[in-house]
Amino acid sequence: MEEQELEQIRSINHHLRQAIEQVGEGVLIVDGDFSADVRGPRIVYANRAVGLLTEYHPAELIGQPLGLVYDPDNLEHLLARLAAVLKAGRTFEMEKNCVLKEGRQEPFIWTIRGMKDEEGRAVSFVLTLRPVPLALEKVIAGLPAGEQKIVTEDDPELLIEEKLEQSRVESLAMLAGGIAHDFNNELTAITSNLSLTRLETQEGTEIRQRIEDSLEACDNAQSLAQQILDFTKGRTPMVQVVRPGKLLKKVSKLTLMGSLVRSELKISEGIWGVEADERQLRQVLSNLMINARQAMPDGGVVQANLENIEIEVDSVPGLSAGRYVLTTVRDRGCGIAPENLEKIFEPYFTTKETGSGIGLATCRAIIQRHGGTITVKSSLNAGTEFKVYLPACRAGKEREEKKAAAGRREGGDQELIEGQGCVLVVDDQDAVRQSAQRLLEKLGYRTIAAADGQQAIDLYRQQARTTEPVSAVLLDMTLPGGLDGDEVKDEIRRMDGAARVIATSGWFDDGAENQLMQEGYVGVLPKPYAVEKLSQTMHEALRV
C-alpha cells in the first residue's frame, strides 16, 4: 500500500474519531473475543459521551469487561446471543439498564452490531447507549368525556413518532452545535478586539460608550446562540446569584435601542440578588421589553421598576411566604382584550400576525422553574403591566470590595489581572489567534502561536530548550485535520508533565468543564471571551 493511501486512511480514521467524540450518544467498542470472560468482552474504546452518561472517565473503562456497565441481570442473555448478532450482520436495539459508577442503575436504550473480518470471525462489537426518555402518559384531547385515551410508551404508533422526533431533535442539536461553534468563533475576534480597544479609550467619552454598547450586543448575540442549544438539548439551568438591577439596565438598553420607545427605570436601593440562570432570566426580561415596544409602534415610554418585597401567606397566588424581588414592566400601548388575557401564557396562542405564540409561554415556564410567578393586567388602549416575582437570596452587596492586589486594574465589570511568561496560542482561525495574542500581550504575557496541532507540539518542544519555556497553552479543541485538541494536550503532557493547557472552543457540551479538568486541562475558556475573562482564566491556570 502506498504512503499516500496510508495517509488517506489515517486522515479518515482521525475524522471518524472526531465525529464519534462529538456525538451525544455513548459509543463503546468491545473486543471480538466474547467467550474468554463471563463478565463479557473487554472494552477497547469509549467516547466522551460514555463518560458523561456513566460517570466513569473513559480511560477508566478501557480494558474493563462490558459487564462493568451493562445490565447484570441481562448480561448472560446478551453474551449467549453475540454469535447470532455477529452472523446477522445488522444492528439490534434493546432497553436494558446501565450501571453507573456509584452502582446506581438507570434504564438506557442500547444498540449493538458485530464487526467481522473477511473470514467471518468476530473483530469487535460496537454498542451505543442513551438514556430512556421519561415514561409518557398523555391524554389525547378532543375525545368525549369518559372516552379519553391514555397513551403510554408501549403504544407502537407513539414509539414510532417518538423515535422520529428524537432523531429530528438530535440532528437539529448537532446542526445547532456546529452553527454555534462557528458563530462564537467569529464573535471571539470581534469581542477580543473591542475589549482591547476599550482599554485604550478614555472612560466617559462617546467612543468608549459605543464600544461598551457593542460589547453588550456581542454578549447578547452569544446568549442567543446558546438559547438555540438550550432548546435543542434541554440544558439544565446554570444557577448563580444574579444582580437583577444590572441585568434590567442592560436588557432595556439593548431591546429599545434604535426604536421610538424609551425606558424609564426605577430601581430601589439595595436590591436583593436572585438565584437564577442569568441567560434565561435575560430571555424573560427581553421578551417583556420587546412586547412593550411592539405595543407602542408610534413611540412611548416603557416603565420598568425593580423592588424588594415581603410576601405573606396567600397574598400572591402560587407563591409561598417569603422575600421576593419584584420586576414590573408597564407600557401605555394598545392593551390586551379581556377574552385573550387568560390565554396569553398558553403555548402557540398569539394575537400578532407574525407571532409564534411561544414567547410568553417560555417566560412563564422559566419563571416557574425558578420558583417564581408572573402576572398580567391590561386594558384596551390603556396599556399592559407584567409583574415578575422571583425568590430573593441572601441580601448581598451589589459588588464586593475590590482587592487592592498589585498588578490588578479595573476593566469593564471584572478585574483585569496582569501576568507574565510565554503563552502558546493554538487556533486555526487567523483572526481569533491574532486577537488572542494581542489581548495576552496587553496583559503582559509574551506569545507564540500555532495554526495546527503538530506545529504547536514542535513550538512547545523548541521553546523548552530556551531560557523562557512555555508557561501555558491556550488550545482550541476543534483543530481541523491532523491532530485534535486532546491529542495535542496529551503529546505536550508527555513532554512536560507539568504543562498547563487551557481548553477553548466555540461549543462546549454540558458537563464538559468538569470532564476536561479531570482529563488534565487546567482551565476551560468558552468562546467568545473578552479580555477580563481571559485574564482571570490565565491567572487561575498559572496558580495551579
> For residue 433, which of 472, 462, 476, 469 has the smallest C-alpha distance?
476
Q: Return the beta strands (E) in 4-121 as ranges.
A: 26-31, 43-46, 92-99, 105-116
More confident residue, 508 or 460: 460
Q: For residue 58, what are the contacts with CB-CB under 8 A and spacing of at least 6?
A: 46, 47, 48, 50, 51
CB burial string 313-332: b at 16+ within 10 A, e below: eeebeebeeeebbbbbbbbb
Closest CA to 192 of 30, 359, 434: 434
Which pLDDT belongs to residue 141? 36
Q: Is the peptide bond before 347 cis (omega within 30 degrees of 0)?
A: no
Q: How far apart are CA 444 and CA 189, in angstroms?
A: 20
- 1-to-4, 14, 246 alpha-carbon distances in Å: 8, 19, 64
Flag whether pLDDT at 153 surpasses 50. Answer: no
Q: Tell me which of 516 and 412 has the higher pLDDT.
A: 516
- Structure confidence at residue 235 (pLDDT): 53
Q: Which of 21-25, 173-177, 193-197, 360-364 has the lowest mean pLDDT?
A: 173-177
- Digit-coded pLDDT (tens) for 524-533: 988 888 788 8
Residue at 398: amino acid letter: E
**pLDDT value of position 376:** 93
Write down the pLDDT at residue 180.
Answer: 62
Residue 24 identity (one-letter amino acid):
G
Separation between Cα atoms, residue 243 and residue 533, nearest integer Å = 18
**DSSP notation for 154-167:** T-HHHHHHHHHHHH
The pLDDT assigned to 155 comes to 46
The grid cell for 216 is 453588550
The reply to whether domains 20-132 and 408-543 share a CATH topology is no
Q: Which three cell numbers stand for residue 536?
A: 482571570
Phi, psi of 443, rounded to the nearest 5 degrees: -85, -5
**What type of residue is 278?**
E
Under the banding of pLDDT at 50, 70 and 90, the label for residue 146 is very low
Q: pTM of the full predicted structure? A: 0.44
Residue matched to cell numbers 487567523: 430
What cell does 373 get?
410567578
Distances (CA, A) of 349 to 35, 341, 358, 359: 60, 11, 7, 10
**How many other CB atoms sit within 10 Å of the CB of residue 110?**
21
For residue 432, give Cα distances in angstroms to 116, 137, 486.
45, 49, 19
Query: Which of 41-45, 227-231, 256-260, 439-443 has the weakest average pLDDT?
Result: 227-231
Q: Hey, is 486 helix, strand or coil?
A: helix
3-class DSSP state of 326: strand
Question: What pLDDT is recorded for position 68?
Answer: 93
pLDDT band at 307 (very low <50, low <70, confident <90, very high): very high
Query: What integer pLDDT is reported at residue 389 of this predicted model?
Result: 95
Residues in the chain: 544
pLDDT, residue 428, reads 87
DSSP H/E element including 127: strand 122-131
Beta bridge partners of 244: none
Instruction: Return the higher-pLDDT residue of 461 and 398.
Output: 461
Question: 68: which 3 cell numbers?
Answer: 462493568
What 3-state class would DSSP assign to 525? strand
Q: Domain 244-391: give its CATH code.
A: 3.30.565.10
Give me the phi and psi of 94, to 5 degrees please. -150, 155
Condensed to tens digits (0 to 9), the pLDDT of residues 377-412 reads: 999 988 999 999 999 985 443 333 333 333 333 344
Strand ranges across the sheet with 26-31: 43-46, 26-31, 122-131, 105-116, 92-99
Helices 430-442 & 156-199 angle (0-180, nearest 10):
50
Give the position of cell 368525556: 145
> Please, are residues 389 and 372 in contact by the beta-carbon 8 Å criterion?
yes
The model's confidence at residue 274, banded by pLDDT at 50, 70 and 90, is very high
Model confidence at 67, pLDDT cuts 50, 70, 90, reads very high
Q: How far are the Cα atoms of 1, 2, 10, 481, 482 from residue 5, in angstroms, in the given order?
A: 7, 5, 9, 16, 15
What dotted CATH number matches 20-132? 3.30.450.20
Superfamily of domain 408-543 in the CATH hierarchy: Response regulator (3.40.50.2300)
3-state secondary structure at position 324: strand
Number of other residues whose CB lies within 10 A of the CB of residue 135: 9
Report CA dihedral (45, 230, 527, 26) to the nearest 10 degrees: 0
User: pLDDT digit string (tens) for 94-123?
Assistant: 889 999 988 889 999 998 988 888 788 888
Contact 406, 447 (CB under 8 A): no
* pLDDT value of residue 313: 83
Grid cell at residue 280: 434565561
Out of 211-225, 383-397, 483-497, pick the least confident.
Answer: 211-225
Least confident interval from 40-49, 353-362, 436-445? 353-362
Alpha-carbon span 125 to 113, nearest angstrom: 6
Confidence of residue 463 (pLDDT cuts 50, 70, 90): very high
- Give the chain's mean pLDDT: 79
Place of cell 488550545: 475
pLDDT at position 12, please?
Answer: 52
φ, ψ of residue 52 to 5 degrees: the values are -70, -35
The domain spans of the chain are 20-132, 244-391, 408-543
CA angle 66, 72, 75 (to 5 degrees): 60
Residues 6+ apart with CB under 8 A from 539: 417, 419
The average pLDDT across 284-294 equals 91
What is the pairing mode between strands 150-152 and 137-139?
antiparallel
| 107 HSE (CA, 13 A, CB side) | 6
Query: What distance in Å separates the CA atoms of residue 22 and residue 49, rounded to the nearest whole number?
Result: 8
Say how many CA atoms lie within 13 Å of 184 toward its Cβ: 27
* Nearest residue to 287 (alpha-carbon basis) of 267, 302, 265, 266: 302
